[in-house]
């Protein structure tokens, strides 16, 4: 009985008649035969086929080749990783001793034939060698793909924002499928975050990507869990994977538990390839992991937006600062980068009976709660200023307020009461960076003002006093401007002092220069207030 296996067999034998006979037996069984006459010829043939991607499925190698033994040829094949999995069957027409069989196996051979042999035996040995190699290759491939999946899931879980998440999922999918990949993460607000593998044209066709994201949203409507389907080219926008190319798409869509977050892994369908259910399973697991990672990231973005809105709504806008006679004031507020949680930084400029009170502070922690407490502190300070001007008394009252209503919260704040007429400044500092006083001529120094954080209930030191001249500037900042992981805060403060001393005159220029030096992609919110006597 003939069995067509569709396999390709490399027959290496220096005797033409033997090559012909062996080839005839294999061809009758439905195999494709590639005959060569020597070991060196075999290595050349294998090298060419390796480059073409047409390596044979098995090699039948005569032990007694003229240029090298069949054992040596086997060793050389095994020494090249791309060909190491090729099954090799040794054969010999000479009497076979047990030692010869051992040498063949030790050289890496998979079986040993003594010829002449029954055609059925030759065919069975070839089938067994190919079957064993395919099992081994399949197991290695499965392990390799599971490793790639594990690495991709770890990278996805480490993503710090939705766009970074989509890119990590695209990289992982591209490695799993060896295909161009586009990943969409669509949140409750419908905004799509797109990711592509490195080296792929991320902006090949922006309109196509937008259309694909809308299609993904429709595919997920009313569905839960994970499903994979093929979207034919007429429905899948052209140019998503490659500019101007219309392709079918294999899409794996996962909907998060909240039912409002959708993840889609999309790759082009290779028309010559047969879909592997195992591949779909790996894609589904990666899509599910991405959807699970997307939920907290998107929830955080909503919380961050609420906190930012809260902060900005209660911080006086720079162009709407109240008129404060006798002083010029410039403020800046810069929220942290998107990868960082919202903080509780604030500034204030208030009129009191004894002068102008300026404040800059920061609630310890990063969350919506911190932003909420910040709002309470600002309102409390504003209310206390109605009948009190002394910055030490104000700091003490804020301290008591935190202990009473937020006993687990601490905050830093620096209060400066400026008398525009005399230039007298009284400073109460609660664990904050002290004000920086910039004198004419380039002299810059920090006010010698310190004290415990708010919320600890500790006794406050007397106010620190200094005097401003008409040409002087007073600068108050939160630590988000200068704080850098791994650098001591004293070093950062020295760098700020030097940069401020070298800045051109003017309040706006001072703030802009310092933000340009220190405020790029901040890890924490930044609040700044600069003052000069008017």
Cis amide bond preceding 116, omega within 30: yes
User: Is residue 366 assigned to a domain?
Assistant: yes
CATH number at residue 191: 3.30.450.40
Crossing angle between the packed helical segments 368-384 and 391-405, to the nearest 10 degrees: 140
Check which CATH number belongs to the domain holding 465 and give it.
3.60.40.10
**DSSP class of residue 350?**
E
Selected residue with higher pLDDT from 203 and 131: 131
Looking at the fold, whether 521 and 394 belong to one and the same domain comes out as: yes
Q: What is the CATH number of the domain that holds 78?
A: 3.40.50.2300
pLDDT at residue 10 tops 50: yes
**221 vs 467, higher pLDDT:** 467
pLDDT digit string (tens) for 67-85? 998 899 988 988 888 787 7
Whether residues 126 and 165 fall in one domain? no
Top mean pLDDT of 45-54, 239-248, 266-275, 351-360 is at 351-360
Tell if the pTM clears 0.85, that is, is over it: no
Dig out the tokens for 208 from the structure: 């196509």
**What is the pLDDT at residue 284?**
83
> In the prediction, which pLDDT does 420 show?
92
Q: How far apart are CA 130 and CA 8, in angstroms?
A: 10
Averaged pLDDT of the chain:
80
For residue 238, tell me if it sits in a domain. yes
Same domain for 426 and 528? yes
Confidence of residue 359 (pLDDT cuts 50, 70, 90): very high
Shared-domain flag, residues 482 and 339: yes
Residue 505 and residue 393 in one domain: yes
pLDDT in tens, 164-187: 888 888 888 888 887 888 888 877
Cross-strand bridge partners of residue 362: 345, 412
- Looking at 144, 179, 200, the residue that finishes a domain is 144
By mean pLDDT, which of 22-36, 384-398, 513-527 is the weakest?
513-527
Domains in the chain, number: 3
Per-residue pLDDT, averaged over 298-314, amounts to 58
Tokens (6 digits) for 484: 């850098």
Provide the pLDDT for residue 321.
63
Percentage of the residues of the chain whose pLDDT score is greater than 90: 19
- Is residue 151 one of the residues assigned to a domain? no
pLDDT above 50 (res 272): no
* Residue 223: domain span: 158-307
- The answer on 393 and 452 residing in a single domain is yes
Query: Is residue 282, in this structure, part of any structural domain at all?
Result: yes
Do both 120 and 262 map to the same domain?
no
Kindly state whether residues 296 and 370 are assigned to the same domain.
no
pLDDT at 205: 55
Whether 311 and 371 have beta carbons less than 8 Å apart is answered as: yes
- Quick one: 69 and 176 in the same domain? no
Per DSSP bridges, beta strands 8-12 and 32-36 are: parallel
**DSSP letter assigned to residue 456:** S
Q: Report helix angle 277-314 to 119-157, nearest 10.
A: 10
Which of 102, 118, 144 terminates a domain? The answer is 144
Residue-wise pLDDT tens digits, 409-444 = 899 999 999 999 899 999 999 999 999 999 987 888
Say yes or no: 322 and 447 in one domain: yes
Residue 203 lies in a domain: yes
Tell me the C-alpha to C-alpha distance, in Å, between residue 154 and each of 159, 257, 287, 411.
Answer: 9, 20, 13, 36
Same domain for 130 and 189, yes or no, is no
Asked if residue 515 is part of any domain, the answer here is yes
Using the 3D structure, point to which of 286, 307, 328 is the last residue of a domain.
307
CA dist 136 and 489 (Å) reads 58
Q: Is 152 among the domain residues?
A: no
Statement to judge: residues 371 and 434 lie in one domain: yes
Burial label, 100 (beta-carbon count in 10 A; 0-12, 13-18, 19+)? middle
């Amino acid at each position: 009985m003939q069995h067509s296996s569709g396999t390709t067999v490399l027959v290496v034998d220096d005797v033409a008649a033997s090559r012909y006979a062996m080839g005839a037996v294999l061809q009758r069984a439905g195999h494709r035969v590639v005959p060569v006459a020597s070991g060196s010829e075999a290595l050349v043939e294998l090298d060419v086929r390796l480059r073409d991607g047409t390596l044979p499925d098995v090699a039948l190698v005569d032990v007694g080749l003229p240029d090298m033994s069949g054992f040596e040829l086997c060793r050389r094949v095994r020494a090249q990783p791309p060909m190491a999995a090729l099954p090799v069957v040794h054969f010999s027409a000479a009497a076979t001793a047990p030692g010869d069989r051992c040498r063949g196996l030790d050289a890496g051979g998979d079986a040993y034939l003594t010829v002449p042999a029954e055609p059925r035996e030759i065919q069975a040995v070839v089938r067994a060698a190919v079957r064993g190699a395919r099992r081994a290759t399949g197991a290695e491939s499965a392990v390799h793909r599971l490793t790639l999946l594990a690495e991709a899931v770890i990278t996805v879980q480490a993503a710090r924002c939705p766009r970074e998440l989509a890119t990590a999922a695209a990289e992982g999918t591209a490695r799993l499928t060896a295909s161009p990949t586009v990943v969409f993460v669509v949140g409750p607000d419908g905004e799509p975050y797109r990711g592509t593998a490195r080296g792929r044209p991320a902006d090949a066709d922006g309109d196509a990507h937008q259309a694909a994201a809308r299609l993904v949203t429709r595919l997920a409507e009313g569905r839960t869990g994970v499903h994979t389907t093929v979207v034919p080219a007429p429905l899948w926008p052209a140019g998503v994977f490659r500019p101007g190319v219309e392709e079918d798409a294999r899409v794996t869509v996962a909907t998060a538990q909240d039912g409002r977050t959708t993840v889609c892994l999309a790759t082009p369908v290779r028309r010559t390839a047969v879909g592997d259910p195992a591949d779909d399973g790996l894609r589904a697991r990666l899509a599910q992991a991405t959807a699970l990672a997307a939920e907290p990231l998107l929830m955080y973005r909503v919380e961050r937006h609420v906190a930012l809105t809260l902060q900005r709504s209660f911080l006086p806008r720079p162009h709407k600062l109240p008129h404060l006679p006798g002083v010029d004031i410039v403020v800046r507020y810069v929220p942290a980068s998107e990868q960082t949680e919202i903080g509780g930084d604030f500034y204030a400029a208030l009129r009191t009976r004894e002068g102008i009170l300026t404040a800059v502070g920061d609630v310890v922690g990063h969350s919506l709660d911190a932003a909420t407490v910040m709002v309470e502190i600002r309102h409390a300070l504003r209310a206390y200023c109605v009948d009190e001007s002394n910055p030490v008394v104000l700091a003490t009252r804020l301290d008591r307020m935190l202990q009473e209503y937020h006993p687990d919260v601490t905050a830093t704040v620096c209060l400066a009461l400026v008398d525009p007429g005399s230039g007298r400044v009284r400073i109460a500092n609660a664990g904050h960076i002290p004000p920086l006083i910039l004198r004419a001529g380039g002299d810059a120094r920090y006010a010698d003002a310190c004290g415990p954080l708010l919320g600890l209930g500790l006794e406050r030191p007397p106010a620190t006093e200094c005097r401003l001249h008409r040409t002087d500037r007073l600068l108050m900042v939160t630590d988000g401007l200068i704080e850098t992981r791994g650098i001591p805060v004293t070093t950062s403060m020295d760098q700020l002092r030097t940069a401020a001393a070298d800045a051109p005159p003017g309040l706006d220029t001072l703030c802009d220069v310092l933000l340009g030096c220190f405020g790029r992609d901040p890890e924490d919110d930044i609040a700044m207030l600069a003052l000069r006597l008017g």
